[in-house]
Amino acid sequence: MDYIQQRFSVVFEYKVFFTSHLFHKTNPVFNRFLESEAVDIPKKILFVTDSEVALHHPTLLEDIRRYFAGNSYVELIDNILVVPGGEACKNTTTYTDEIVAAVNQYHVDRHSYIAAIGGGAVLDMVGYAAAISHRGIRHIRIPTTVLSQNDSGVGVKNGINYQGKKNFIGAFTPPVAVFNDDHFLTTLSDREWRAGIAEAVKVALIKDKTFYEWLCENAAALRDREMLPMQYQIKRCARMHIDHISGGDPFEKGSSRPLDFGHWSAHKVEQLSGFDIRHGEAVAMGIALDTVYSHFCGWLSETDTRSVIQLLTDLGFAVTHPLMQITDESSPLVKGLHEFQEHLGGKLTIMLLKEIGKGEEVHHLDISLLQKASAWLQQLSQNQAS
């Protein structure tokens, strides 16, 4: 056969910074990042902020304007866009369109920056808009929730939803920097604070027994909003997430996604609830379901299974919900399993637990065992309530 072989590799690198009060005028972190990037090209920076964050931090926009006033590395675009927080911003193309229009209006070029401040959904949506504008404008992430600081916000994915299907449209596009500012965590509601810890339970269960034990010891302190254990858990998770990306298949060309545990049902139940159930809350229930399934398929001991349920409960999570019920093949959650398979690329890959700290992948789930696991959790939940 007559052909030319093409082969090249592209290097991606970025830092995940940990700081407090990122936009306080004396905080050097952001500015030093810009300094490290400085080249002989005029650059602009367009900020997009989560409406929830703007609400709870009423001086934020002024703080940003003050921070960048007279900055020698970038020109701040004075019109800071504010978009609705939460999944709402991903369920329409309205906000990506708004960002693309701003890129056009303010002449934001490929070497300029689009910075997103907000929870995971806002980062996903803004990251997507940045990825497709001029074939990729440099994207900075400033995650403001526990969940985005310890997981999605430090990764390489972006996206929006399509006809209720999560992340149906999107790309793999690494950011150029991530700034984790713990001051944003102080204004989270208890639900939001807690929700993000589900991802910590997830990675601990499949990769790190020591971290799991630390979580059990610190569950009450975490629930009671102590900042030191929260910082520790965020940094440990972020590190594992970063290492997982660089050590594996960053753009998921294969079919394996080994840091996914409890997510197939979580994605679906979020959608079924009209996003009343938050992603982290859904993940906690998904973890519970797949943990109990791991027990019923003969892998995980009953003691370990009950310990996981206890940890989730100690952290304040509900471990199931009427929408998590699986009665037969036609249950909505089973439909979600098929959608997840399609999203992965045709071959189902689900992580289960061999033991605590050790996940293992399977390519098939038994619906009758799933049914049994869901019923077991419903029963437990009713017993706890009574």
> Under the rule (CB under 8 A), what is the footprint of a second copy?
1-19, 28-29, 32, 40-43, 100, 104, 107, 109-112, 128, 131-136, 154, 157, 159, 162-163, 165, 167-174, 235, 238-239, 242, 245-246, 250-252, 255, 342-347
DSSP 240-278: HHHHHHHHS-TT--SS--TT--SHHHHHHHHHHTTT-S-
CB 131 within 8 A of CB 169: no
C-beta of residue 146 within 8 angstroms of C-beta of residue 196? yes
Least distance from a second copy to the Cβ atom of residue 36, Å: 10
- The least CB distance from residue 80 to a second copy, in Å, is 21
Residue 344: other Cβ atoms inside 10 A: 18
Say which residues have a Cβ less than 8 Å from residue 61's Cβ, sequence separation at least 6: 49, 54, 80
Beta bridge partners of 142: 117
**Least gap, CB of 105 to a second copy (angstroms):** 10
Residue 8 C-beta: closest distance to a second copy, Å: 4
Contact, 351 vs 203, CB < 8 A?
A: no
CB of 164 to a second copy, least distance (A): 10
Q: Collapse the DSSP code of 235 into the 3-class scheme (helix H, G, I; strand E, B; otherwise coil) and give the result.
A: helix
Nearest to 304 by CA among 319, 292, 315: 292
Instruction: Considering the complex, state which of residue 225 and residue 239 has its C-beta at the smaller distance from a second copy.
Output: 239
- State how far the Cα of 64 lies from the Cα of 338, in Å rounded to an integer: 44
CB atoms within 10 A of CB 249: 13
Smallest gap, in angstroms, from Cβ of residue 354 to a second copy?
A: 23
The tokens of 116 are what? 């997103």
Q: Are 49 and 63 in contact (CB under 8 A)?
A: no
CB of 172 to a second copy, least distance (A): 6
Burial 77-86 (b: 16+ CB within 10 A, else e): beebbbbbbb
